[in-house]
Amino acid sequence: MNHLALEQRYQISDLHHAGHSRGQIAQQVGVHKSTISRELRRNSDGRNGAYRPELAQRKSEERQRAKPRKKRFTAPMQQYVVRKLKEDLSPEQIAGEARRKGVDCVCAERIYQYVWTDKKRGGRLYRHLRTKGKKYAKRGSLRGKRGQIPGRVDIDQRPEIVEQKQRIGDVEMDLVVGKYHKGALLTINDRATGMLKMGYVQSKEAAVVQAKAVELLSDWKALLHTVTTDNGKEFAYHNKISEELGVDCYFAKPYHSWERGANENLNGLVRQYFPKGMNFGRITEQRVNEVVDMLNQRPRKRFGFRSPQEVFQNATLNNEGVAFIT
């Protein structure tokens, strides 16, 4: 229904006071006869029945403001969002996956608003977010020094095809360290598919890390091309990794974490389950495997909200590169 403008209400008033019928007024104003009847009935002065344009406009606007608004974020949607949040999906992942599957859902920003409102009311949905609602300051310019690694090959010498993230077998590797640096999780991700492999190590000793890396990657040996790590001394036995797995190892430049961006992002996801300050000595192999399964089945925006496991399986079955959805 089109709402009458103030100019039309002046026209109605003049024609009405001149004694024209409602049908004639409707014809002159260019609306249906029922619109004129409804306008005179609803927006005339309730005390004396007189019709005045300004009063009619004011009553119409007040009625529109008082009209109950449709709630877009319905109860079924809220139930869906809460269930997905408790599965540790981010708001963007929830909205994206819903869009891909044709599930009616609100946008990611609206989900964030819902989470913050829940937090203000004492709710705990925010604890399922990756950062638990915390805000982190940007890193400053202060830099420490890390020891030199014998035989280190710089990332500049890595084949350009690795940067394209189109083939399976170019992996990144890092450690997520526990409280007091006692115990750590070795995380390995495939750059093309985002698939995660992860295992617990009791120490950061290079021999321990090297043995765990070979163990985790043994079933991917036929697929592997390159390994990229940071400059930690825990990767000093990279030559043994290269020899046992038949891969080339490369090192990102010091303090250039963005050169291993996928791995840094994945470590952030891992921290949802193994937060800073946690005693890693209590971690079980079963729990590590559970988290690996959850993260490998989590939808990712870069894959059109398909999971790394879906992308990996499709690529390996078809013996093809990874097709990105933009």
Q: Say what the pLDDT of residue 306 is.
A: 94
170 with 229: CB under 8 angstroms? Answer: no
What does CATH list as the number for 155-318? 3.30.420.10
Q: Say what the pLDDT of residue 319 is.
A: 63
Q: Say what the pLDDT of residue 2 is.
A: 62
Residues of the chain by 3-state class (helix, strand, coil), percent to 5: 50, 10, 40
Long-range contacts (CB closer than 8 Å, 24 or more residues apart) made by 108-115: 110/72, 110/73, 111/81, 111/85, 114/73, 114/78, 114/81, 115/85, 115/91
Query: Could you say which DSSP state residue 72 is in?
Result: S
Region 209-238: mean pLDDT is 94
CA separation for the pair 36, 40 (Å, rounded): 6
Higher pLDDT pick, 236 / 134: 236
Residue range 279-323, pLDDT digits in tens: 898 899 999 999 999 999 999 998 999 999 999 999 887 765 555
Q: pTM of the full predicted structure?
A: 0.61
Region 73-95: mean pLDDT is 93
Work out the percent of the chain whose per-residue pLDDT is above 90. Answer: 68
Say whether pLDDT at 144 is over 60.
no
Region 234-251: mean pLDDT is 94
Residue range 159-201, pLDDT digits in tens: 999 999 989 999 999 999 998 888 999 999 999 999 999 999 9
Q: Say what the pLDDT of residue 315 is.
A: 84
Domain boundaries, the chain: 6-66, 75-128, 155-318
Strand pairing class (184-190; 196-201) = antiparallel
173 phi and psi, to 5 degrees?
-140, 140
* Structural Rg of the chain based on CA atoms: 31
Mean pLDDT of the chain: 88
* Residues 141-165: b if buried by 16+ CB within 10 A, e if exposed: eeeeeeeebeeeeebeebeeebeeb
Query: Could you say which DSSP state residue 4 is in?
Result: P
Residue range 101-113, pLDDT digits in tens: 999 999 999 999 9
